[in-house]
Amino acid sequence: MTQPLDYLKETPSQTAGPYVHIGLTPNGCGIEGVYAGDLGAAMVNDRTLGQRITITGRVLDGTGTPLKDALVEIWQADAEGLYNSPSELRGTADPNFTGWGRSACDGTTGEFRFETVKPGRVPFKDGRKMAPHVSLWIVARGINLGLNTRMYFGDEQAANAEDPVLMRIEHRVRFPTLIAAVDGSACRFDIHLQGEKETVFFDI
């Protein structure tokens, strides 16, 4: 016999369901007056440092149909590559940047949208720099456990080519699924849940 290894077990996930908006974006779904505003709607203010960008995209199912009931959250470093988190020990992030955003996909077009800044580079565990990236978490009806992925920038080819996480994708043909199309300040990033163009999802 040994001592018991008495770790607790993580609470299992369940789908967010079709009415996730009631809890997470109530003002956006017509439940007004409970909270002043929807959390995660504004990531920047007038004093936020860095290059302003807009991230738009859709989440598509196995038939190519956009999900109209998905909800996407993003988490990213500030323009200097610092996270606005108590676990960030390398310095103090831009106090005018939350680093976290939440967007419900549009009920008609399925589009999500974030007004943010382009993130700086963050070190990988061994000190190499990762390419600028945004972490995404996708929940919806039919998704039993939130899906994690990353968005990289199409205009950062040199940094992307040396990114330690992208380099771990064995099938290079899947590499483009994590790269947003960049046109000026507009970043376009569609997420394919399954099929030929299936986005790379992570077990983080």
Q: What is the number of alpha carbons within 13 Å of residue 70 lying toward its C-beta?
A: 29
As measured in angstroms, the least distance from the Cβ of 202 to another protein is 5
As measured in angstroms, the least distance from the Cβ of 27 to another protein is 10
Considering only residues 126 through 165, tell me which ones interact with another protein, judged by CB under 8 A: 126-127, 130, 133, 135, 137, 139-148, 150, 165
Q: Please report which helix (H) or strand (E) contains residue 24, including its range.
A: helix 20-24
- What is the residue whose two structure tokens read 């992570």? 202
Among 2, 3, 4, 14, binds another protein (CB under 8 A): 14
As measured in angstroms, the least distance from the Cβ of 95 to another protein is 9
Nearer to another protein, 107 or 186 (CB): 107
Q: What is the DSSP string of 160-195?
A: HHT-TTGGG-S-GGGGGGGEEEEETTEEE--EE-SS
42 scored as a contact of another protein (CB under 8 A) = no
Give the CA-trace dihedral at 184, 189, 64, 148, to 10 degrees: 180
37 scored as a contact of another protein (CB under 8 A) = no
Among 1, 3, 4, 8, binds another protein (CB under 8 A): 8
